[in-house]
Amino acid sequence: MAGRKMLIGGEQNQTNVEDEAHYDFDLFVIGAGSGGVRAARFSANFGAKVGICELPFHPISSEVIGGVGGTCVIRGCVPKKILVYGGAFGGELEDAKSFGWELNEKIDFNWKKLLQKKTDEIIRLNNIYKRLLSNAGVKLYEGEGRIVGPNEVQVTQIDGTKLSYSAKHILIATGSRAQRPNIPGQELAITSDEALSLEEFPKRVVILGGGYISVEFASIWRGMGANVDLCFRKELPLRGFDDEMRAAVARNLEGRGVQVHPRTTLTELVKTDRGVMARTDHGEEIEADVVLFATGRSPNTKRLNLEAVGVELDQTGAVKVDEYSRTSVPTIWAIGDVTNRMNLTPVALMEGTCFAKTVFGGQNIKPDYNYIACAVFSIPLLAVVGLSEEQAIEQANGDILVFTSSFNPMKNTISQRQEKTIMKLVVDAETDKVLGASMCGPDAPEIMQGIAIALKCGATKAQFDSTVGIHPSAAEEFVTMREASRRVPGAGKPKTNL
């Protein structure tokens, strides 16, 4: 094995054959989700000898169940998006009548058929991820990994056999798991894991939580015909997103028939003959077939033995890392949701790529978290990049110009669906630089990905204005918003209680 140069924090360390000869692996990765697989493959491509371990596959995770592909592929983004497609057809079929489609009044929805299609797809992707590792020369072990020393990993296989491996570097990429609020009867509820694999379609659903998972499942199940009650603590869902977009999402949920309960939490769940009774802090009782807890996720660190080997954790249990993803132990690194930085699959991929390039590729690269676009797959969709209006005002030294457009999409003018698309650009008044973009409406993520490139390149509002739009499209609104809706002084510290 040839010696490699590692660039860490600008310092160059020459490693040699003798120094590495007594290690079983140059890198051992615990966790074969999106970030772990990316880091393993790219490190192997740079010539490293790489091992990786992952828990046995199952759609519903536990402390001893997982699967190659991780949360995103098996019980997150991918199966969720498949169900979003399924839920969206509910509204599409209603609208189709206005476009000349003569549909029978009785249209059946087969939940089990959709779930089987979903399961088939995640099994296919699970196998693809395994092949990607194999083709890169990465050795895959099925079992639970834990760290027993700065350079030693122990893997407990399915039959209980324990295997120990030494590694020059260890990478933690174990992701996160859904958490449950500690209320009486909490065992009667499900999390997003189970929601993606329910055997029977729930006709009555109560959802607790105001984040993207709760909003997405409310859209999914309502689109399929369920009665949905959505409870969250704030005045609006999606805390941290632009307030104007949050209000639009709430209106759209209500417009499609979701019963929204702001400033509401659940205090108790009780088993009944007809299902589960959810009691709120306002004294309401809502009966449901299923209660979904979408109240956040916790880093998967409890069973890794990290504190015993000196890896520091924060108060949430997340692994503390520096800007290069290195932990408090120099030979141990961590990426993805387990570090609780920006918990998105593409971010974990970026962190895995930067890790491999830094440690094995001779490049000194740290993740860049600026202008990362993200989407909420509600129906209709929400997508954002850069700063929200509230963030821009809080961070700005000068004035902020806000450009907005609210309109009824052409499709809705025919179907008579009362659901407006809303777009927004947030601009630095002095430099003309576009600081943020938001959109709530059909195709928002597809449009926002292109906008993200422009913002990453430092685009100005004048450059947006000089771009010729595609007509007729919703996207052209982003290059035709000529007049500012408002000018807001910066550093006003606008704090919302919404």
Q: What are the catalytic residues?
A: 471
174 is in an annotated binding site: yes
Q: How many CA atoms lie within 13 A of 195 on its CB side?
A: 28
287 is in an annotated binding site: no
272 is in an annotated binding site: no
85 contacts: CB under 8 Å, gap ≥ 6:
none
CA dihedral 174, 178, 182, 185 (to 10 degrees): -130
**479 φ, ψ (degrees, to nearest 5):** -115, 15
24 is in an annotated binding site: no
Q: What is the DSSP letter of 494?
A: -
Report the alpha-carbon distance of residue 214 to residue 191 in Å, rounded.
10
Report the alpha-carbon distance of residue 439 to residue 448 in Å, rounded.
8
* For residue 472, cis peptide bond before it (omega within 30 degrees of 0): yes
DSSP sequence for 144-196: EEEEEETTEEEEEETTS-EEEEEEEEEEE---EEE-----TTGGG-B-HHHHT
CA 233-238-242 angle, to 5 degrees, is 125
Which region, left, alpha or beta, applies to residue 458 given φ > 0 means left and ψ of -120 to 50 means alpha? left
- Is 187 in contact with 225 (CB distance < 8 Å)? no
Q: Is 235 in a helix, a strand, or coil?
A: coil
215 is in an annotated binding site: yes
- The two counts, helices (H) then strands (E), for the chain are 13, 23
337 is in an annotated binding site: yes
14 contacts: CB under 8 Å, gap ≥ 6:
3, 5
Q: Which residue has the tokens 């206005």?
A: 98
Cα–chain-centroid distance for residue 496?
Answer: 24
Other beta carbons within 10 Å of 451: 27
Report the alpha-carbon distance of residue 225 to residue 104 in Å, rounded.
16
CA 115-129-333 angle, to 5 degrees, is 115
378 is in an annotated binding site: no
**Structure token digits, residue 454:** 């422009």
Q: Which residue has the tokens 């998006």?
A: 81
210 is in an annotated binding site: yes
**Structure token digits, residue 214:** 């709760």
216 is in an annotated binding site: yes
Q: What is the DSSP letter of 484?
A: -
* For residue 494, cis peptide bond before it (omega within 30 degrees of 0): no
- Is 444 in contact with 477 (CB distance < 8 Å)? no
Q: Is 201 in a helix, a strand, or coil?
A: coil
23 is in an annotated binding site: no
Binding site, annotated residues for FAD: 81, 145, 174-176, 337
Binding site, annotated residues: 81, 145, 174-176, 209-216, 296, 337
Binding site, annotated residues for NAD(+): 209-216, 296
